[in-house]
Chain A
């Protein structure tokens, strides 16, 4: 038992450990890294190991950054296998459960997946009428998004920057300045905070949503008015895991044009159509050119309450005798052995990479709220649904406590 995960044998290098979760059940098996096969074979295998031969499945995996990404064709299947090191974590769902046309209302799906995957975890597009999808990337994770379009004045833009790990700096500078406001007493010059510089290749630049001389109005919902440059700097750095800044863009030409009537519900949700295409194209293109990693930009995507509470779980390393007992707890599954797939038992890896993984997953795998949250993003925060709680627990199962 220990051999399997302790010793990085030649087999484990060539094998991909797969842990597949369907409902509350887990299955573990391995794939040959060099010959992963095709997606439909894999799909059949999943149905087999879970013993759900006739269930239509939606397959998703957690990538190294903790994002939940779909597997629905050969390309992203290969990517998933390639990126697994060594564990590939799969999350299976019944297609009919996930297959609601208005995905925004499907809280289950939304909660189980990231905001992003909620968009992209469409059922097979061939089967149903393909909804409007901004793009159909093979493998991506969000870099930034414009949020709260419907509650902000048109002149403002609220941008969320997703910081994945530490590999890429946020990459911008802010400065002091003054801006002119209209007050009951007339025009008044007030001090403000402005973006002064974007670092080439940095996250901020690559999004295209922030530009030099944009005035920063809020940081994670807290107004910066009356705060010093250092205070705002500290607030941004302290929130850098999940930075949401509201800016008044210097260039007001790319603003969202809002419909006059202002429909409710889903209509307003989609009313956040971006007219900022130029900027977004720029961001995408520049990033693609940099080719440092797969990215995608989602803009105007309605994000509900971002429960960032657990986004910074601290790492506790126990040093003591209990390590053994925890190791023993994993149970054996009896999985019908197939010639190609060797079942890996007790694959609760204890390496550091997996710890980092789960931490990241905690950081970004929180779903968005219901569509109601579009109007009152705070309302949904008070009632976390049991599903979400359950899901979180299951995600945390490899949790933040690492046993050595």
Chain B
């Protein structure tokens, strides 16, 4: 019954070796902004910043390119992080009340494709501690940690708790100093009676070390009491009898005063003069946004400066009624007062200032604010406090990402122009400060080539990112909304102008800061497909309302009107009414366009359904686009429509006429992006919590879990042709190949639909093609037009949606991009031997010979594995060992989130890697590949995970940090040496790969060679896809094992003596 069509490649040691040199799976780096950040810390000595997330990840950032990631074992939110300054160590407090110590260590050497690589520095957890419950007190919340204070000497950690006690831990061994614990009773004793009034002081809200006198700490209790505690003498030096509920404390640099912030939106300044044991009143008390009730000031900083009065920074404190829902941070100095108005919650903030003790002033240089959705840095030295653009941690999701596109090896010319344009865009910000968080050293070699990542957003913008290195840096932002009349007609990208205008006579003096703006003006503006020709600098952008915009790069601003062409994709289909959204109204008058990509032509598809596929061929000046109704071909040079073809199934005309189905699909496409955001937020980062319980427990729990699962049913019905979405055009492709006969090649257009139909058109492009440039007599004004003639229609019998079409040349290599061959940028395709076309449907991969379309090879993925193809791409893999050896392979991402690699055109399975969690639908949908074996997918709305399938091409952080202590190196055998990965989205799932659980799953991601390469037991076997690879011999084995199992069964049965109803296999 079983078909084993593929000879086992693993038996060929030579091939195994080559495969190892070509393929290796690694998740290398996470780009973007960490999802759901929950903690922030800064090491002023090393100039490193750490961000903790709700999923238990810790990410350290320094200079661009310097990144370290650590992942707690549990998916618990990191509530606090504290650096041990200069040591490269940090402490993290988790939501489950555990304290963890992390250390930067030298990572293990790694083996990549046989080549040894120097291990970089990585973050490793060395110790953890959890505060024991206090005996006699049942409620465990009494020892719940509220605040941590690390003394400057770095040998003592003070822990403030909910119960009001302060505990002391010795560092770096995390040993509790039992006898030093300071319980509230001790403090209460020394209080005056009228203050005591029988109530507890409440949880410890703040702990601050005296800036000048080591060994003295300030303890602030929730009820308002602040105690200056002498650690060595173990008694209270001074008591400050605050009456207002306390939120935070901060010392002034000299230690002569401190500031407390309160629940009522006020702050108080307290003098610290020795001798006074009681201070009943603060020097001053202010409610800045009073007199109406205000929200609490969560955190306050007081920084002295040489230039004048101290800078006061605090978050919150807004008038409850009018601005209670704003996320604000106030900067105040003298008369200058700015209320930074953010679009998301303020998590934490710090200033970068002088830390040397001999300096008299703090002189804050920058303010770093961690918000829920982005990081904002304010330059405090430049007047006006402008924002500083971040070189990394960019909020990718400032408007929801709707599509992405990667361009490898961007020509330097285009790169330079993009950078210059981007600089001009940002020049308004008027800041000359360099990036203040600049610790560590990036050891990664400069990228050999420039790579661009383009993201399309829901608000109609396309953002260009520098994806060449570890830090994903924004380069340039293109808005397409100005092509249309929109409700809020305003020049795009004016957020900064706004900021300036709004500074006028408003109280509080709000200033909008940050670019996270999830609310789109018009969802129809959303970008669905992007195609860029890097040689001719032409860009095609297609959107949700059927708009296809052709843009060209221009270094100068220009005032022009955009040509509009309307293409009716329904053609002669009568009785169809579109009940979806209207098309966007194009701007008819000339409009100013800033330097950069400027729109030239707008092609509007009718009905204005979302564009599902685009293709661009700049040599022929053609664009092809498809929607759920059909596809069209447009000559943007001559501005005429060459072709419009309806793909709605003729049998469906009744079904399609009922607009309901159509509308449904449309709404779907509109909601898609919203849902995607929500989904990825919800589809939490669940990781199995491995507690040291016995295996029995686990098994029992697993069994119980299974029983709880309500049975889900699936209907087994073969697909029928009358699916209402059958007409959706899934892919389009241009190719110069043989369609009519084996001797004349010429331009062709291929289109594939959701119902497994492929249409191939022969194009006649004037001046292109094998001598078939026919001079058309009688053509008007001698202008020859592009013509398209239907050449073939292929209906795949299994009717699965066509995911991708690509044409392979005579050598079985994919055809080069436009201009690559003609400008000698790539090897010219082999036009002497017969071409073939690779059609990947959701279920099968098939190669057909051309021009007679007959099946050559195929691989039935779904029939074998039960998985469906989601994304397919052809990738050039370079060997890590041999410089000149490379191979093209087909990379296929399935709905289970795994990557299958196949040879082309033989379609032999090579390797399989688990990559994305299978329930991470948005991750799978967002995956985009590079041409040399890397890829990106969204692990959260704001983060791209970068992965590499190639043993040679790898972009990963490689950096070092100058520490006070010698760097230890990890043992290579240590399992934790695995490259740390945040968010837990990408653990290799155990037991998925055909029951090979006896092997550590981790070997899949980084092959460590324990056996010789040519041994048949070499771990490359592991990565083989067995299902397709069994030979006849294996079948026999397989059958034998069945027999054995059967025998066992029989024996067992006999022993048990007719125990019925037990299934054995």
Chain A: residues with CB nearer than 8 A to chain B? 147-148, 151, 153, 155-156, 158, 163, 166, 169-182, 187, 189, 191, 196-197, 204, 215, 217-222, 224-241, 244, 248, 252, 305-306, 308-309, 312-320, 359, 376-379, 381-382, 401
Contact = CB atoms under 8 A, between A and B. Distances in A.
B795 A315 contact: yes
A348 to B, nearest CB: 19
B1064 A176 contact: no
Contact of A237 (B717, B1052, B1060, B1061): B717
A217 B1046 CA distance: 14
B183 interface: no
A399 B697 CA distance: 62
B797 A215 contact: no
Contacts of B717: 169-171, 237, 240
B797 A315 contact: yes
Contact of A313 (B716, B797, B1032): B797
3 A-B pairs with least C-beta separation: A231-B866, A221-B2, A312-B797
A217 B1064 CA distance: 11
B718 A230 contact: no
A173 B714 contact: yes
A234 B712 contact: no
Interface of B: 1-4, 703, 706-707, 709, 711-720, 740, 789-798, 800, 843-844, 846, 852-855, 860, 862-868, 895-896, 918, 991-992, 994-995, 1027, 1032, 1035-1036, 1039, 1042, 1045-1046, 1049, 1052, 1060-1065
B716 A316 contact: no
Contact of B860 (A179, A218, A238): A238
A127 to B, nearest CB: 36
Contacts of B791: 318-320
Contacts of B707: 178
A245 to B, nearest CB: 9
Given A222-B2, A316-B794, A317-B792, A233 B716 contact: yes
Nearest to B800: A238
Main secondary structure of the interface of A (DSSP, over half): mixed
Contact of A315 (B794, B895, B1049): B794
A158 to B, nearest CB: 7
A147 B1 CA distance: 10
A222 B3 CA distance: 9
8 contacts: A178-B703, A191-B706, A204-B716, A220-B1, A226-B995, A235-B862, A237-B717, A382-B1032
Contact of B716 (A170, A217, A382): A170
A313 B1008 CA distance: 44
Contacts of A238: 798, 800, 843-844, 860, 862-863, 866
Contacts of A175: 711-714
Nearest to A377: B1
- In this complex, the member of B797, B867, B1046 whose beta carbon has the largest number of chain A beta carbons within 10 angstroms is B797
B797 to A, nearest CB: 4
B369 to A, nearest CB: 44
B1044 to A, nearest CB: 11
A273 B1062 CA distance: 24
Contacts of B2: 220-222, 378
A172 B1063 contact: no
Nearest to B993: A226
Nearest to A231: B866
B711 A196 contact: yes
Given A178-B707, A182-B1049, A248 B1063 contact: yes
Given A173-B715, A226-B994, A229-B714, 18 more contacts: A155-B1063, A155-B1064, A171-B717, A175-B712, A177-B711, A225-B995, A228-B866, A228-B896, A228-B918, A232-B714, A234-B843, A238-B844, A238-B860, A305-B1, A309-B3, A315-B794, A378-B1035, A381-B3
Contacts of A171: 716-717
B703 A220 contact: no
B44 to A, nearest CB: 51
A7 B720 CA distance: 32
A379 to B, nearest CB: 7
A298 to B, nearest CB: 17
A382 B1035 CA distance: 13
A235 B863 contact: yes
A166 B721 CA distance: 10
A174 B716 contact: yes
Given A170-B716, A181-B1063, A182-B1062, A176 B740 contact: no
B794 to A, nearest CB: 5
A88 to B, nearest CB: 25
B718 A237 contact: yes
B867 A234 contact: yes
A82 to B, nearest CB: 27
Contact of A222 (B703, B795, B1027): B1027
Contacts of B994: 226
Contact of B1049 (A153, A172, A233): A153
B706 A189 contact: yes
A314 B855 contact: yes
- In this complex, the member of A182, A222, A229 whose beta carbon has the largest number of chain B beta carbons within 10 angstroms is A182
Contacts of A235: 862-866
A198 to B, nearest CB: 10
A180 B1062 contact: yes
B866 A232 contact: yes
B1 A239 contact: no
Contacts of A197: 713
Contacts of B714: 173-175, 229-230, 232-233
A172 B718 CA distance: 11
Nearest to A316: B853
A173 B703 CA distance: 24
B716 A317 contact: no
Contact of A226 (B795, B852, B854, B991): B991
Contacts of A224: 866
A376 B1039 CA distance: 9
- In this complex, the member of A220, A238, A240 whose beta carbon has the largest number of chain B beta carbons within 10 angstroms is A238
Contacts of A234: 843, 862, 866-868
B716 A173 contact: yes
A113 B988 CA distance: 49
Given A182-B1064, A235-B863, A315-B795, A221 B1 contact: yes
A177 B703 CA distance: 11
Contacts of A228: 866, 896, 918
- In this complex, the member of B2, B709, B791, B1052 whose beta carbon has the largest number of chain A beta carbons within 10 angstroms is B2
Nearest to A199: B715
A153 B1041 CA distance: 12
A170 B1064 contact: no
A316 B796 CA distance: 8
Nearest to B846: A314
Given A226-B992, A238-B863, A176 B868 contact: no
B819 to A, nearest CB: 30
Contacts of B1027: 222
A24 to B, nearest CB: 24
B893 to A, nearest CB: 15
Contacts of B864: 222, 235
A85 to B, nearest CB: 20
A181 B1064 contact: yes
Nearest to B719: A237
A239 B863 contact: yes
Contact of A176 (B712, B795, B852, B865): B712
Contacts of B794: 314-317
B1065 A217 contact: yes
B1063 A166 contact: no
Given A148-B1, A237-B716, A176 B1049 contact: no
Nearest to B709: A176
B1063 A180 contact: yes
Contacts of A147: 1
Nearest to A161: B716
Nearest to B1043: A151
A176 B713 CA distance: 7
A158 B791 CA distance: 44
